[in-house]
Amino acid sequence: MVEQGESGARNGVNSRFEQFRDLEPAERLKRVVEAAGLDQNESRALSGGGALPINLANGMIENVVGTFELPLGVATNFTINGRDYLIPMAVEEPSVVAAASYMARLARQCGGFLTSSTDPVMRAQIQLLGLADPFGTRAKLLNERAQIIALANSKDKVLLSLGGGCRDIEVHLFEDTPAGAMVVLHLLVDVRDAMGANTVNTMAETVAPLAEKLTGGRVRLRILSNLADRRIARARVEISPDVLRTQTCSGEEMASGIVEACALAIVDPYRAATHNKGIMNGIDPLVVATGNDWRAIEAGAHAYAARSGRYASLSRWEIAASGNLVGTLEMPIALGLVGGATKTHPAAQAALKLLAVQSAQELAEVAVAVGLAQNMAALRALATEGIQRGHMALHARNIAIVAGAQGEEIGTIAAELAATHDVRVDRAREILARLRGG
C-alpha cells in the first residue's frame, strides 16, 4: 500500500515520473533515455524523424514509397511482479497513454500487477482431406506421434538448441464440412523468443508429406493458427477501495460500478466487443512499438474471447472478500523479440531496450498488464462520469493544433476548450484569433 517513489525501482528503472505530462517531448525523451540507460542511437530512434531509413523500409515490404509515422508515447508508473517498467506505446488515439499511466499509478499503490504465462507454444495446422475413415486416420496419426515430432524438429536445430521445438501433436476431426470429412493435424511448437509464424509454417510444410503418406489423405492447408491458446499470458491486479475513491464517488461505489460494467461484457457480445477493444487499446500500441504483428494479436484475442461459443469479455472484475477490487485478464499473446520488424526497425529495437524484457514471455506478460490497466481506466470512467469529459480534454490539444495553434498557444487553447466543454475547431479558431489579437 505504500506508493513506490525513488526507492521503488527494483531493477534500476523507476517508472514513477512526476509531472511527466507537463514536459516538452524532448525533455520527456531525455528522462526516459536517462532512466533506461539508452544510448544516443536508441534515443534518436525513439525520437522519430528518420528512425526508419527508406532502404530499411524498402527491404521490409513491397512497393515502398515512404514511411508512416505515429506518435510514440511512454506510459509510466507500471510495476509488474515487483519490477518497474516504462511502456512504449505507438498509437493515434488521445487519452490511451494517460489512462494506462494513471491506472498503473493506482495499481502501484497496491503492489502493482502480478502476471504469469504458459510456455510460448504455437500451433500449426495441417489439413487432410479425402479420407474414407477419419476416425481411423486420427488414431493412425496419434500412433505416429514420435515420428511426426522428430520430423518437425529435424529442420530447426537452432530452436532445439535454445530449448524450443515441436513438443506434441493434436488431431482434430470434422466429420461434416462443406468439403467433406476432414482431419487436422496440429503441431504444438515451443517457439521460445520468436513470434513463431515462420518456424511453425516451415514445420507444417515439412511434416505434410509424411501426414499424406501415413494416412493416404490429401493435404491442403499448412499454416499456423492465430488462436494461440497454448501461449497464454495472465495479469491480476487488486485495488483497495480507498485508492479508487474520487471527489464524487466512494471507492466501494466505484468498485461495484466497474463490476457491473464488466458484467454486461460477460453476457452481451455487443458490449464485449467494445470492452475488449478497450483492452486492445493498451496492448496494440505496445505491439506496434515493438515491431510485432498486431493483426495476429487481435485475431488471437477475439477468437479466444469467443472460445465458449459466445463472444465475451476477456477480463473479469470482482470484489474480493476483503472488499478489494480484483481484475484479471487472460488471453493469447504471440509476441516475439527476434525476427521480423522487431529486429530490423531501429525504433522497435530501442523500444525493446526501454522495456528491458529478457524473453518473449516476459513481453507478453507486460502486454496483458497494460491491457488490464487500460480496461480498468475505461470502466472506471464509464462507470462514473463517462469517457467524453476526460477524452475531450485530451482531444482538445489535437483540435487546437488543427485550428493552427503553435507552441504555448496549444495548451492555452486546449485548456479553454476543455473548461467550457466545447471542444470544436471553429471555437479553437476563435480563441486563437483572440490570442493573436485578431
Q: How far is the CB of 395 from ligand MEV (least distance, A)?
A: 12
CB nearer ligand MEV, residue 269 or residue 404: 269
Minimal distance in Å, beta carbon 386 to ligand MEV? Answer: 9
* Position of minimal CB gap to ligand MEV: 278
- 51 forms bridges with which residues in the sheet? none
Catalytic residue among 144, 156, 193, 293: 293
Residue 277 annotated as catalytic = yes
Cβ atoms of 123 and 226 within 8 Å: the answer is no
* Closer Cβ to ligand MEV, 350 or 376, answer by number: 376
Residue 231 Cα to chain centre, angstroms? 14
CB-nearer residue toward ligand MEV: 195 or 262: 262
Beta bridge partners of 219: 128
- Tell me whether residue 69 is one of the annotated catalytic residues: no
Residue 211 CA to residue 271 CA, distance in Å, equals 43
Cell numbers linked to 48: 522519430
| Closer CB to ligand MEV, 52 or 259, in the complex | 259
| Annotated catalytic residue within 93, 119, 168, 252 | 93
Supply 70's cell numbers: 505515429
CA 255 and chain centroid, separation: 25
Q: Which residues bind ligand MEV (CB under 6 A)?
A: 93, 274-275, 277-278, 281, 378, 382, 387
C-alpha cell recorded at residue 165: 521445438
Instruction: State the burial class of residue 374 (Cβ atoms within 10 Å of its Cβ: 0-12, 13-18, 19+).
Output: buried
Q: How far is the CB of 368 from ligand MEV (least distance, A)?
A: 16
Q: Which three cell numbers stand for residue 417?
A: 476548450
Q: State the catalytic residue, choosing from 156, 391, 409, 416.
A: 391
157 catalytic residue (yes or no)? no
Nearer to ligand MEV, 120 or 278 (CB): 278
Shortest reach from residue 236's CB to ligand MEV, in Å: 19
Position 172, amino acid: H
Quick one: 170 exposed, middle or buried, by C-beta within 10 A (0-12, 13-18, 19+)? Answer: middle
- Which residue out of 140, 155, 277, 353 is catalytically annotated? 277
Nearest residue (CB) to ligand MEV, 281 versus 290: 281
Burial of 53: CB neighbours in 10 Å, binned 0-12, 13-18, 19+ = exposed
Query: Catalytic residue at 213?
Result: no
CA atoms within a 13 Å half-sphere pointing along the CA-CB vector of 254: 24
Residues assigned a catalytic role: 93, 277, 293, 391
